[in-house]
Homo-oligomer: A and B are copies of this chain.
Amino acid sequence: MPLLVVGSVAIDNVETPQARRDGLLGGSATHFSYAASFFTEVRLVGVVGQDWPAEHTALLNGRGIDTSGLQVADGKTFRWTGRYEPNMNDRETLDLELNVFGQFNPVLSEDYRRTEYVFLANGVPALQLKVLDQVPGCRLVVADTMELWIQTTHADLMKLFRRIDGLVINDSEAKLLADTENLVLAGHRVRAMGPRFVVIKKGEHGAMFFSEHETYVMPAFPTEKVIDPTGAGDSFAGGMMGYLSQHANFEPHTLKTAMAYGILVASFNVEGFGLERMQQITRDDIEERMKAYKKMLSF
């Protein structure tokens, strides 16, 4: 089944203790799309400016991603510049220019409105709700959010939570939302706010899943090659939802396998700047890593 994602498309400059790279293809919807494209047909909805390099679109199309929903607006593309701490987890935003993304107003085509699998990447909750209104028949809608919206638009966020099937957030967001340092408790509390299931991403420590009947943790795939963590969370969500939309059921086994694919795709994403490592891999590489991951977890 096709999978629709609505979110940011950006040009990133990333600095790590080892290196700095400018002009990377970035943004949450981009990382999500690329990761999901290994599993299913992806429809990307976003906005870029006049400065958008045509080769970036070509790169996405090369993986079969439908970019007909990628608007080109007057102005410049969203730009983010960040620097990672030596732990490669904490990061500082050095510069942020919303540019055309500040006026982003996604209007879906008739065809896109019939998409049954939808991911609302991080964005203003009011906008996420507006997208949701346009896909009344969708079977699965999953959203992401960030600390800014938890703190500044809490009521809208709660409205959103009551309408989505799944929420994918990171550990610090979960703690903030649930007002507890215990992630297990946080997961249950956030689920009680509305979503049928909640996934808490823990970066190098993996991810946790919470539904009515299930609570589990899956570790990250151990890699010593962490080059650039940017987009890891979005590629996790892309791998997970890509697999889910391909399998079209929400059985516990399917959800857990989807989580595992999300973890593995994210483990490739961090092994290069931007999408560089992702461009080198095939579905076979993911399957190879899945074999190792399953072996690692069995005893």
Q: Please report A residues at the B interface, Cβ cutoff 8 Å.
A: 86-88, 181-185, 188, 202, 204-206, 208, 215-220, 222-224, 226, 253, 256-257, 260, 294, 296-299
A101 vs B280: C-alpha distance in the bound complex, in angstroms?
57
Q: Please give, as numbers and ranges, the residues of chain B lying within 8 Å of A181 by CB-CB distance.
A: 86-88
In contact, B202 and A253 (Cβ under 8 angstroms)? no
A279 vs B208: C-alpha distance in the bound complex, in angstroms?
29
Q: Do A219 and B222 form a contact, CB below 8 Å, given A202-B205, A257-B299, A297-B298?
A: no
Q: Please give, as numbers and ranges, the residues of chain B lying within 8 Å of A299 by CB-CB distance.
A: 253, 256-257, 260, 294
Closest 6 CB pairs of A and B: A256-B299, A205-B205, A184-B224, A217-B219, A185-B224, A297-B297
A217 vs B223: C-alpha distance in the bound complex, in angstroms?
11
In contact, A182 and B217 (Cβ under 8 angstroms)? no
In contact, B296 and A217 (Cβ under 8 angstroms)? yes
A to B CB contacts below 8 Å, 26 in the list: A87-B181, A88-B181, A88-B182, A182-B224, A182-B226, A183-B204, A183-B222, A184-B222, A184-B223, A184-B224, A185-B224, A188-B224, A205-B206, A205-B219, A206-B217, A206-B219, A208-B222, A216-B296, A217-B219, A217-B220, A217-B222, A217-B296, A218-B219, A257-B299, A260-B299, A297-B297
Give min CB distance, A97 to chain B, whole Å. 30
A297 vs B88: C-alpha distance in the bound complex, in angstroms?
27
Q: Please give, as numbers and ranges, the residues of chain B lying within 8 Å of A224 by CB-CB distance.
A: 182, 184-185, 188
Give min CB distance, A204 to chain B, whole Å. 7
Q: Please give, as numbers and ranges, the residues of chain B lying within 8 Å of A256 by CB-CB distance.
A: 299
